[in-house]
Chains A and B, each alone.
Chain A
Amino acid sequence: MSIGHAQQTRPADEPGASALSGTGAAGQPVVELTDVSKAYRTGRTELLALDKVSLSVRAGEFACIIGASGCGKSTLLSLVAGLDKPSAGRVDTTGRRVALMFQEPALFPWLTAGRNVELALQARGVPREERRARTAELLETVRLTGFRDKRPHELSGGMRQRVALARALAHDADVLLMDEPFGALDAMTRDLLHDELERICAERTLTVLFVTHNVREAARLGDRVIVLSSRPGRVIGEYPVPRTGPRRIDSAEVAQMAATLTDRLREEMGRHGH
């Protein structure tokens, strides 16, 4: 039972010539969107959520997408995850396994933390004997070994989100899609989880597409930050973030990048002001 397979595959010899390919990270493009549009019909009006979005994410890259409200960030991830189909254009995940993490942990409240993770393995057909060991290993990865038998409501928000991360990792995905996963957490917890996420991604060589509306978070985590316009969502800017060493949310280069991104977003919001 595999999940999130590519809807369309492109021939291997075709060059991955996206106008907006990343510069920071090496590796083959693993997620490619070509002129992707998505329209929703609500009653008589048609809402264009995404308008001809083209972008590509390379293997091992940590790409952040930011934008103000109504930029279709979540729509974009749903399309990449295969939960939804684009109205036009192509979404290509080059046959990679894709896992999606939501803003809410979305854990099953009747299952313990351990069983929540195990169910993801079970759905993939992992045999029972193997599941226990894999679950323990995944909980260890998110530093929750002692909390296997706790139910979600007995855990804090940050811990729940880590269980959700362990569950997403249980998919053995190459590509991790994250939809504002730390949006509902307090700043201190979020900081620690940034470090944790960075460590886990490095350990597992994950490719990440991370959606947020927090410019500092984007500057802190991303190898590259993609800015979307609002209503409809279009790519209006791309900012590679140079990696000079370990980053912190309060380091100068992050603050500088955040300022640049904020300016760009304000400019875009101003466009809707009149």
Chain B
Amino acid sequence: MATDQALHGLDRLELSPLSGQESLLARLGRRTWAGTWPKLLAVALVLGAWELFYLSNYHGDTADHLVAGPVTGVQNLWDQLVHGQLVAAIGTTMERGVIGYGLSVLVGAVVGAVVSRVPPLRAAVGSIITGLTTMPSIAWFPFAIILFGLSNSAILFVIILGSAPSIANGLIAGVDYTPPLLLRAGKMMGLRGFALYRYLILPASLPSFVAGMKQGWAFAWRSLMAGELVVQVAGSLSLGVLLAGDQEQLDLTSAISVMIVILIIGVVVDGLFTKADVAIRNRRGLIDAAAGS
């Protein structure tokens, strides 16, 4: 049939070329390099600035023993990782982070889902949630310590208060911005009630929800660090405890080592969220292929 063939031909012509000329290995290599060099540059810049600060002798000769150069610093970090308590401290901190953040996602998702579906709650609770996101989490600690004492629970409590509102907000925004045309299409299809939520509204709000989760992680990580410095739980060894110990012993080199670890964990987790975000947007064609990301 002539129409049929013309249609097939047109379909072929209109589709963008699916694979490039570049071999898979070359593309992988290029991608890896493209992802790696900015990070290497960042590390080099930091080490360079550190060296300059060291050479400037800002603290004067008498304070020389306080400030170490990057070479000593990296050595110190290595020593702490291999011989010291740094690994155990990372374990404790990450455990708290994972549990606290996990609970935040749970609370945020449930609250967000309920608030976005119930209009009267929407007006009241919506503004409370927005208010909570602007509250610096460290301001919650006196409250948490009075309520829970110097315990893990106090830290988890503050993590949840710090990050769950962002997660809930992300979900609410996603539900709000479900395209009306898709809602009409869904209703036309006969999607109603729970099915409408499950097959249309939730998937439609996923990108916004992931953005909220990413912001929620940033808040959770900050709350956790603040918490570990303020709430020193007896007998537990965490990054916060190490950092506070370094402060007491005026051990600047060790403090820098711990800070580097904190920074790296934050950056790595943030990178994972960015990856998830890009994957989701890619699936939906929200990333311009020509721009290449």
Q: Give chain A's interface residues, CB within 8 Å of chain B.
A: 1-4, 81, 83, 99-100, 102, 104, 106-111, 119-120, 122-124, 143-144, 147, 151-159, 167, 171, 188-189, 192, 195-196, 199
Contact B195 A123 (CB under 8 A): yes
A159–B182 CB distance below 8 A: no
A143/B203 contact (C-beta < 8 A), A4-B188, A156-B14 known:
no
Please tell me if the beta carbons of B181 and A189 are within 8 angstroms of each other in the complex.
no
**Additional A-B contact list (17), CB under 8 Å, known A106-B184, A188-B10:** A83-B188, A99-B188, A108-B185, A108-B200, A108-B203, A109-B283, A109-B286, A119-B191, A123-B195, A124-B189, A143-B8, A151-B283, A151-B284, A153-B285, A154-B285, A155-B15, A158-B14
Q: Nearest residue in B to A100 (C-beta to C-beta)? A: B188
Instruction: Please pick, from A81, A152, A154, the residue contacting B15 in the complex, using a CB distance under 8 A.
Output: A154
> Is residue B187 within 8 Å, beta carbon to beta carbon, of the partner chain?
yes
| Number of A-B residue pairs with CB-CB distance less than 8 Å in the complex they form | 91
Chain B residues positioned under 8 Å from A157 (CB to CB): 14
The chain A residue sitting closest to B187, CB to CB, is: A83
* A-contacting residues, B1-38, CB 8 Å: 3-4, 6-8, 10-11, 14-15
- Chain B residues in 8 Å Cβ range of A151: 283-285
Residues on the A chain within 8 Å of B182, using CB: 106, 108
Residue B206 CB within 8 A of the other chain: yes
What B residues does A119 contact at CB under 8 A?
189, 191, 199
Q: CB distance B185 to A3 under 8 Å? A: no
Within B176-213, the residues touching A (CB, 8 Å) are 181-182, 184-185, 187-192, 195, 199-200, 203-204, 206
- Is there contact, CB below 8 Å, between B284 and A159? no
Q: Report the separation of the CA atoms of residues A195 and B206 in the bound assembly, to the nearest whole angstrom.
A: 39
Decide: A3 and B190 in contact? CB cutoff 8 A. Answer: yes
Residues of chain A with a CB closer than 8 A to B192's CB: 1
Check if A110 sits within 8 Å of B284, measured CB to CB: yes
CB-CB under 8 A from B283, the residues of chain A are 109-110, 151
Q: Hey, which chain B residues are within 8 Å of A2, CB to CB?
A: 190
Report chain B residues within 8 Å CB of A158.
10-11, 14
Nearest Cβ in chain B — how far from A158, in angstroms? 7
Q: How far is the CB of B278 from chain A (nearest CB, A)?
A: 15
**B287, closest chain A residue (CB):** A153
Q: Is the CB of B6 within 8 A of A192?
A: yes
Residues of A with C-beta under 8 A to B204:
108, 110
Q: How far is B195's CA from A1's CA once the two chains are assembled, in angstroms?
A: 11
Asked if B284 and A123 make an inter-chain contact with CB atoms under 8 angstroms apart, the answer reads no
Report if A123-B14 is in contact (Cβ < 8 Å); known contacts: A108-B182, A108-B203, A143-B8. Answer: no
Cα–Cα, bound, A1→B191 (Å): 8
- Cβ contacts A to B, 9 pairs, < 8 Å: A2-B190, A106-B185, A109-B286, A110-B206, A123-B195, A151-B285, A156-B14, A192-B3, A196-B3
Q: Cβ of B190: which chain A residues have Cβ within 8 Å of it?
A: 1-3, 120, 123-124, 171
Which residue from chain B places its CB closest to the CB of A104 in the assembled complex?
A: B181
**Bound Cα distance from A143 to B6, whole angstroms:** 11
Give the CA-CA distance A84 to B243 in the complex, in Å: 64
A40 → chain B, closest Cβ, in Å?
Answer: 15
Residues of B within 8 A of A102 (CB): 181, 184-185
- Given A108-B182, A189-B10, A195-B3: A171 and B189 interface contact (C-beta under 8 Å): yes
With a cutoff of 8 Å between Cβ atoms, the chain B residues found around residue A189 in the complex are: 10
Task: Assess whether B4 is in contact with A123, with CB atoms less than 8 Å apart.
Answer: no
> Which B residues lie within 8 Å of A154 (CB)?
15, 285
From residue 251 to 287 of chain B, which have CB atoms closer than 8 A to chain A? Answer: 283-286
Q: What are the nearest 3 A-B pairs in CB distance?
A: A153-B285, A156-B14, A106-B185
In chain B, positions 104-151 with a C-beta closer than 8 Å to chain A are: none
How many angstroms between the C-alpha atoms of A216 and B3 in the bound complex?
19
By the criterion CB–CB under 8 Å, are B284 and A143 in contact? no
Given A104-B181, A124-B190, A192-B3; A152-B285 close (CB under 8 Å) = yes
**With A and B bound together, what is the CA distance between A102 and B7 in angstroms?**
21
How far is it, in angstroms, between the C-alpha of A102 and the C-alpha of B286 when the chains are bound? 21
**Bound-complex Cα distance A159 to B16 (A):** 13
Within the assembled complex, what's the spacing in Å between the Cα atoms of A84 and B284? Answer: 30
Q: Is the beta-carbon distance between B203 and A156 smaller than 8 angstroms?
A: no
Q: How many Å lie between the Cα of A157 and that of B11 in the bound state? A: 10
Which residues of the other chain, A, contact B15 by a CB distance below 8 angstroms? 154-156
**Chain B residues closer than 8 Å to A143, beta-carbon distance:** 4, 7-8, 11
Separation of A2 and B285 alpha carbons in the complex (Å): 32
The CA-CA distance from A186 to B140 in the complex, in Å, is 60
